[in-house]
Amino acid sequence: MEFQNWPINEIKMNKFKYIFCILIMTFTNAFAWVEWNHITGNSHSWNNPQNWGGIIPTLSTDPIIRGQGSGHEAVIDSSVSATGCTMWMGYSGQADLTISGGTVTVGSDIVLGDSAPGIATMIMTDGSFNHTSGWLYVGFNGANGTINLHGGTLTTFKVLLSSANAHMDITHGKLIITNPDSIGVISEINGYVQSGRLTFFNGNPQAAYKATVNAQGHTEITASKRAADVYNPSPANNSTGVSRNPTISWLPGTTSKRVLPALIDFKNDQTLCEFSGTAIYSTQFNVSDNQRTLLSLGEVFGISEVTLNGINLGHRWFGEHNYDVSNALIIGTNVLEIKVITTLSNYFSVWENPVAQIWTTDRQPVSEGMVGPVLLLKQE
């Protein structure tokens, strides 16, 4: 193209228009999105272009499932490899996504339930969901968000269940959180469990969960069902659950024994509320078979150590205080000893030490000891 006959100001103007057009095109492509619009009678498949206005989402486009209501859910099965950049669900109505196989790869934030009155539900029974970057927001801006992980693997950097409208339930699936701060992740998961926003096996109170750190430094969350497999060890005195006959070793060096009618949080006991040291719980119980080989201590505030029939089974610092007793359990009478080592916090509050008093000023007593329930379970 020749410019020699063009006025210089016209050349500059056309050049400006050309650059401006490029900027508009770049801006448009960077924020491209496609919206789910399922038509009754059509396939629900994610890979059906008719559901996306002719354009199936890619890693450079944002899939939006605004919420058409019941009967218009998106489906990802074993034949689908779904992709997306930022994924939005439940913006103004009910949005449902079912994953029964295949793979999903999302490269930026995921929002399940974007703003009230939006409702978003993701049900995963198989397949692999790879959230490579960003956060997974559930129940955002007053919307309701739910994840039912019943199979497959959901991998994300962070799950945010900070809203009372957020809920996640795990059964046979696996949640992998890639955030390298595994201690922080486990603490956050425990908080979600305590608040009821993260449940297992549809909120079954007898279900258990396990948080482990894999070789890559990622935290894996799995659940196990134990409702029908619970066995309360029957102690010699025939009381319910494990006999409570702890030996209390106080920090200054004194030792005392006390029979507890039930496992208690030391902070709620008038005598033990200032305790810091080692509590040794001991009992005997009988078993008629070796089918139940997982000893669960329930809720423990402190470091636990277990000895069964004279065999030391190790200790647990945090997370679930579960022990494999398959190599120590015998048919008949078993002798169980559980040590719980508490922190110094409650003792510091009464210790006549200026530094300790400053550290504990306006500090409420913390939970200490083993609250249980102590159960012998089948391993899955």
Sequential pLDDT tens for the chain (380 residues): 333 333 434 434 444 444 434 343 333 344 588 999 998 888 999 999 999 999 999 999 999 998 888 889 999 999 999 999 999 999 888 999 999 999 999 999 999 998 888 999 999 999 999 999 999 999 988 899 999 999 999 999 999 997 889 999 998 889 999 999 888 888 888 889 888 999 988 887 667 788 888 889 899 998 876 533 333 343 333 333 344 445 554 444 556 677 766 788 888 877 777 777 888 888 888 888 877 788 988 889 999 999 999 999 999 988 889 999 989 999 888 899 999 998 877 665 655 555 555 555 556 778 888 988 888 887 66
Q: How far is residue 351's CA from residue 329's CA, in Å, rounded to a whole number?
A: 42
Sign for the pseudo-dihedral over CA of 111, 222, 197, 161: negative
Q: Is the pTM of this model over 0.95?
A: no
Q: How far is CA 328 from CA 80, 230, 323, in A?
A: 48, 19, 11
Contacts of 20 (CB under 8 A, 6+ apart): none
Task: Assign 3-class secondary structure to the chain.
Answer: CCCCCCCHHHHHHHHHHHHHHHHHHHHHHHCCEEECCCCCCCCCECCCHHHHCCCCCCCCCEEEECCCCCCCCEEECCCCEEEECCEEECCCCEEEEEEEEEEEEECCCEEECCCCCCEEEEEEEEEEEEECCCCEEECCCCCEEEEEECCCEEEECCEECCCCCEEEEECCCEEEECCCCHHHHHHHHHHHHHHCCEEECCCCCCCEEEEEECCCCCEEEEEECCHHHCECCEECCCCCCCCCCCEEEECCCCEEECCCCCCCCHHHCCCCCCCCEEEEEEEEEEECCCCCCEEECCEEECEEEEEECCEEEEEECCCCCEEECCCCCCCEEEEEEEEEECCCHHHHCCCCCHHHHHHCCCCCCCCCEEEECCEEECCC
Backbone angles phi, psi at 346, to 5 degrees: -70, -35
